[in-house]
Amino acid sequence: MKVILQRDVKGVGRAHEAVETKDGYALNYLIPKKLAIPATPSALKEAEPRFRAVTERKELDAKLLAQNIAALAEARIEIPMKANEQGHLYEAVAAPEISAAVKARARIDLPLEAIKLEKPIKELGTFRVPVSHGETFGGFSITVVAE
């Protein structure tokens, strides 16, 4: 059955996209949960401009994020945290703290899901923070200093 997705559905497609699914999946899950509507000719005509607009917006956001990641490569980001005499932090530095520091110091809005830390930072020092979002990859350095 051909349906037009109202929202992004993992493993099926993106919002405002016309996709072919099994009849039972469409009738018993997608349509009742308002994740999709049947793909009638009039619905297809209405969905096409919205799909194009959403796609253009995502491309623009990806370009902007790529520019921001490139700008962050040269920025110096310091995060002051409370630490003991051995240099161990009382609170770990994770993605929310890094995103807030980047926004405050470099004036760049970096989404939390773009920050790909393996584990939270628990010591003073300089660390490399990998960033990836879609097909955009990069990274920048942060310095965790004692308050």
Burial (CB < 10 A; 0-12, 13-18, 19+), residue 93, is buried
Please give the mean pLDDT across all residues of the chain. 90
Q: Do 139 and 77 reside in the same domain of the chain?
A: yes
How much is the average pLDDT of 91-109?
A: 90
Residue 15 pLDDT grade (very low, low, confident, very high; cuts 50, 70, 90): confident
**Residues sharing a CB contact under 8 Å with residue 72, sequence separation 6 or more, in sequence order:** 102, 106, 108, 110, 131, 138, 140
Q: Do 84 and 44 reside in the same domain of the chain?
A: no
Q: Do 60 and 75 reside in the same domain of the chain?
A: no
Dihedral pair phi/psi, residue 34, rounded to 5°:
60, 35
- Total of domains in the chain: 2
Place of tokens 């491309």: 59
Q: Do 91 and 108 reside in the same domain of the chain?
A: yes
Q: Do 79 and 60 reside in the same domain of the chain?
A: no
Q: Dig out the tokens for 93 from the structure.
A: 């530095």
Domain that holds residue 35: 2-68
Does this model's pTM top 0.95? My answer is no
Does pLDDT of 40 surpass 80? yes
Q: Domain boundary at 14, 38, 68, which?
A: 68
